[in-house]
Chain A
């Protein structure tokens, strides 16, 4: 029994559990929005796009978040700009922009192998995170979460119906810009936790799971944040016993929850769809 409590005796484990939980919750909040507009791959794109920023930041010895943020922001702007100015479809635009940024990042890393550890960028390194880096991650996640808690209803209207948003005095362009700023910020935070390759799961899976469980956006957000936060904390905890690979454990847990919802969700699950409709009717 006491063996299960061993992780809590280590300072770095306690830190990792709390930081992961906060990052997981914030990413989950964003995921509720992201998956609704068919923008899910945007998260993946951003995670890869910020690699040159992180690499450059370590080279120049500035906070990694600043470098990552600049790169992520540039990538978002580039995607948005190419999308506006060409007739290319969104997926093509995303594909072009994020691969070119990622390539630039790999190039930077390969030229300076001592300054940056490729593995910690690609796989994350929450168990070995320095206090400085942890502070940056917590700051990013906490500020983002606070902004989202205040603005989620406005964002919901913008995501649902931009025209209507304008008529109630909301500025859709401004809010979308805010959303993508938060997304790039949280991608940076998630990069530290689960690594560039798995960030996409953090900003998609919790929202997608919650989507199967409810028809109300408020509940969707709540469930999503709970799923993201808890799986991240439990994942960090379990990774102590499994020796590393925190990102892998967290995302595996999220996938298991998604599968459970996919099969057993009361209204939208596989089993519910197979059941003959008892509550249909009266749709006149």
Chain B
């Protein structure tokens, strides 16, 4: 094999070996002018462009039917853009998927909970991209599965059939699968739906931890209240891109009203409702599908925002 004997003495590895593998690249998603039209003529996305870099949690926000799931499907290569292109870590989608760069946490409704698999089997599926042709699990694969289950606090449930879990536990199993997969880009589809508050904060903590380790997460959510909590970037869409950028400057009342149009409930509390003096400040509550209950006062005994009042 080795034609040059002196190469062996060289302490530096040969140039070829030092070339980075695709999985070592920094994660990024870059959508350039993508338009997606279905065969029935329905245009689901029009001229959407955005760039996301490593170390980001990005919220993908929009009403139902705004193209959130089409965007996910396009990033996963299920739908080809009619125009424009998506590049993941600088590669075309198919190549990036082959290189195991992207993990996906599905919506709970999309999972067949009666499927005969145990919790640990599902997490092991995350390792398939690291295995050979026959998908035989090596020691390292078992170790990564245990580690991922520990990380999400599901180690003691590993022998359960997945349908026997609560909503929050189910979500954590699929997060564990994404962790075991070791992909640095993770797409999460409505991760907070049907999840208890405890799990929600556990998920957010986990995502922050991954962000610190230079991962890139794209989270579709209609849970507006938690977006400023954990997303540093947001992408607002409604077929077209409405706004994209850092949360502080993009996740504004004006942009949200654009995104949600008449769908959003909007409460403004101020004046005599809030205080007895001339203070001009007001509390604005935006919510998409639930009426908020707002208490105010020293003991929370006043209810100025009894819902519906505008």
Residues of A near any B CB (own CB < 8 A): 36, 150, 153-154, 156-157, 159-161, 163-164, 166-170, 211, 214-217, 220, 283-284
Contacts and interface: CB of A to CB of B under 8 A. Distances in A.
A160 B78 contact: no
A157 B125 contact: yes
Given A150-B134, A153-B135, A169-B98, A163 B161 contact: no
A157 B128 contact: yes
B77 A217 contact: no
Contacts of A211: 116
Contacts of B133: 150
Contact size class for B? 20 to 34
A166 B165 CA distance: 26
Contact of B177 (A154, A164, A166, A215): A164
A283 B106 contact: no
Nearest to B136: A153
Nearest to A38: B112
A164 B116 contact: no
Contact of A167 (B100, B115, B161): B100
Given A157-B128, A161-B125, A163-B76, A169 B100 contact: yes
B104 A163 contact: yes
A168 B78 contact: no
Interface of B: 76-78, 97-100, 102-104, 106, 110-112, 115-118, 121-122, 125-126, 128-129, 133-135, 161, 164-166, 177, 181, 183
A167 B129 contact: yes
Contact of B76 (A36, A153, A167): A167
Nearest to B183: A167
6 contacts: A161-B125, A164-B106, A167-B183, A168-B100, A217-B116, A284-B166
Contact of A215 (B76, B118, B165): B118
B112 A36 contact: yes
Contacts of A167: 76, 97, 100, 102-104, 129, 181, 183
Among B98, B100, B126, B165, residue most surrounded by chain A Cβ atoms (within 10 Å): B98
B128 A153 contact: yes
Contacts of A216: 116-118, 121
A99 B133 CA distance: 39
A169 B129 CA distance: 6
Contacts of A150: 133-134
Nearest to A172: B78
A159 B76 CA distance: 17
B166 A170 contact: no
A29 B143 CA distance: 30
A214 B116 contact: yes
Given A163-B106, A164-B177, A169 B97 contact: yes
Given A164-B126, A215-B117, 12 more contacts: A36-B115, A150-B133, A156-B117, A163-B106, A163-B110, A164-B106, A166-B77, A167-B97, A216-B116, A216-B118, A217-B115, A217-B121
